[in-house]
Structure 1
Amino acid sequence: MTSKKLIVVFGATGECGSPLRGSSLEGSAPPGRVRLLAVLRSGSSCQLRIAGAEERSRALLHGWRGLMQGRRLADLSKRLGLQHVVYSGLENVKQLTKGRLEVLHFDGKGEVEEYFRTVNVPTTTIRLPFYYENFLSSFKPQKAPQGDKLLLGLPMGDTPMDGMAVEDLGPIVLSLLKSPEQYIGQVIGLSAGKLTVAEYAAAFSQQTGKTVEDSKITPEEYEKLGFPGAKELADMFRFYALKPDRNVELTMKLNPKARTFQQWLADNKAAF
């Protein structure tokens, strides 16, 4: 009897980890062929040791922000001989821009990416774009100071910004796990579409029936808003303006049902 493949999801309650539990992975595999183990952010490393006892295991590692945690996971993955790690990474922006920009939640993941390569763990790195889900919270259109229109505060100017629903990540990871020989060693930038702020705003207007416009805020104005992390987010948008590698065609190949922004917005317009 063929033993079950074990998929371990780290950070299983996080934004990336949540879509990978349940039907996204285990339910998409042939019945009885996959066992899913979810490890929470507070979980101990002993759970990975238990998983590693099954030498044919494969692991999906969600990119924890802690650099030391990420390195420990890489070391454990190497020691346990995991066959395939799918790591949710991002660019080391500080290194790429020679210190001109600093985006801590990118940079730490970038360092862990490099460490997985250094210790020779068989890894596929995925890099997500801006989450559409961010429009439900921090980047929800806000009422303009005057009039009835709403403003979308993304400091991107006329440069298209990649986006994707993180809910659509599960089938992508499953595709990678099904074809390790094709994707191990690759860094894959994900995107379901590239829209300007004006195009995002137009989609909002069409779906909600409200007038939504680009606020035309600049990165310089954004970082002066004064809330914690404003400078880091301004630098993130500055980095997005450099057009990091995100591949719409490959994303749609890995998940043909990945939604465009317009499709995602139609599914979620009640929230607006």
Structure 2
Amino acid sequence: MANRKIIAVFGATGAQGGSVARSILENKHFALRALTRDVSQKKALALRDLGAEVVRCDLDDAASVEEALKGAHGAFVVTNFWDHLSKEKEVCQGKLVADIAKRLGLKHVVYSGLENVDRLSGGKLKVLHFDGKGEVEEYFWSIGVPMTSVRLAAYFENFLTVWKPVKSPDGYYTLALPMGDVPMDGISVADVGTVVSSIFASPEEFVGKAVGLSAEALTIQQYADVLSRILGKDIRDAKITPEAYEKLGFPGAEELANMFRFYHMKPNRDIKLTHRLNPQIRSFSQFISDNQEAFKDL
């Protein structure tokens, strides 16, 4: 480990951070410092067994962030809006890491960012879990941290949980995602780690850039067709509108309706580049084939 440059990975026991951590361990180009709030949890111990240095780090504790980044060459930074539902808190966490990365002289930060939709739409659309990350992106660059932002498409994993097909009274299943006939970019979060590792390996190409990631873009009916074929069920696009979606009444319904409205604007997600950075990236069809067990209760 002493011979290799250290990449500190925030949220190393979560979905994005875990994917990045595993990829760094596998390609052996860098040494992994896995950052997590609970170093005794099972996933943290598993990373240690694979050769990672596991360090306690809490994004709300400046001293722990500073200690975690000391001696690191670079860092992968991910924040989780859904932990606390506060844009302000997410911005504070991101800016804290940026300030410490600047002070310690990190050579390359890869930040899991997204667009500032509020600014891009002239205040017409607020998507808090995007907007905060957009503010943090801008801050990293404004203070001169060598940073690459990766902007992920919708997670394929959502189709296993919150976007799982729902049975209609008529016996078929529906996908209620308000995209109309506009294709929606998607990616498996498990495949993101290899992309991020490739970016760390090519700083000269990516520092100072925002990179939109997507495995492929399908209409909701095309997503439904893939699910129908693999699962042997009749699954259809529910053809719900954003206006109807935001009235569904679950926590975050309006936030997500605005996200889909932003997706209608076709934000830049580069399928060709994503495949270059991870040649093994899975299509939606391959992802569902690998995860059929999640649908056994349909």
Matched, 1:156 2:156: no
Structure 2 unaligned spans of 5+: 38-56, 82-89
The alignment partner of 1:37 has SS state of strand
CA distance in 1, matches of 2:155, 2:23: 18
Tell me the residue number matched to 1:227: 250
Q: Quick one: distance in 1 between partners of 2:126 and 2:133?
A: 13
Other structure's SS at 2:191 match: helix
The equivalent of 2:25 in structure 1 is 26
Check if 1:172 corresponds to 2:195. Answer: yes
Alignment of 1:247-266 (within 5 A): 247-266=270-289
What is the correspondence of 1:3-152 to structure 2 with a 5 Å cutoff? Answer: 3-21=3-21, 23-30=22-29, 33-40=30-37, 42=58, 44-54=61-71, 57-65=73-81, 66-144=90-168, 146-152=169-175
Shift in Å at residue 28 of structure 1? Answer: 1.6
Alpha-carbon offset, residue 52 of structure 1: 3.9
Aligned-partner SS, 2:291: helix
Shift of 1:136: 1.0
Alpha-carbon distance in structure 1 between the residues aligned to 2:127 and 2:68: 33
Q: Is the 8 A contact 1:9 1:61 kept in 2?
A: yes
- Tell me the secondary structure at the aligned position of residue 76 of structure 2: strand
Distance in 2 between the 1:57 and 1:50 partners? Answer: 14
In structure 2, what is the Cα distance between the partners aligned to 1:229 and 1:205?
28
**1: CA distance between counterparts of 2:183 and 2:69?**
43
Count residues with an aligned counterpart: 267
Aligned-pair CA distance for 1:29: 1.6
The alpha-carbon deviation at position 64 of structure 1 amounts to 4.4
TM-score if structure 2 supplies the norm length? 0.86
SS in 2 for 1:94: helix
Identity among equivalent pairs (%): 49
Matched residue SS, 1:85: strand
Q: Which runs of 5+ in 1 are unaligned?
A: none
Letter in 1 for 2:131: D
Listed one character per residue, the Cα deviations across residues 179-209 of structure 1 (whole Å, up to 9, x for unaligned) are 1111101110000001000100000000000
1:17 alignment partner, SS class: helix
1:215 partnered with 2:238: yes
Aligned to 2:46: none
CA distance in 2, matches of 1:270, 1:250: 31
User: Is 1:242 equivalent to 2:265 in the alignment?
Assistant: yes
Q: Contact 1:172–1:251 at 8 Å: present in 2 too? A: yes
Structure 2 residue identity aligned to 1:26: L
The answer as to 2:208 corresponding to 1:185 is yes
The CA RMSD measured in Å over matched residues stands at 1.6
| Aligned residues of 1:87 and 1:125 also touching (Cα < 8 A) | yes
Whole-Å Cα distance in 1 between the matches of residues 280 and 148 of structure 2? 21
Kept in 1: contact 2:35–2:68 (CA 8 A)? no
TM-score computed with the length of structure 1 as normaliser: 0.93
* Residues 1:16 and 1:2: Cα distance change in structure 2 (over 3 Å): closer
8 Å Cα contact 1:6/1:51 also seen in 2 = no
Between the aligned partners of 1:127 and 1:25, the Cα distance in structure 2 is 19
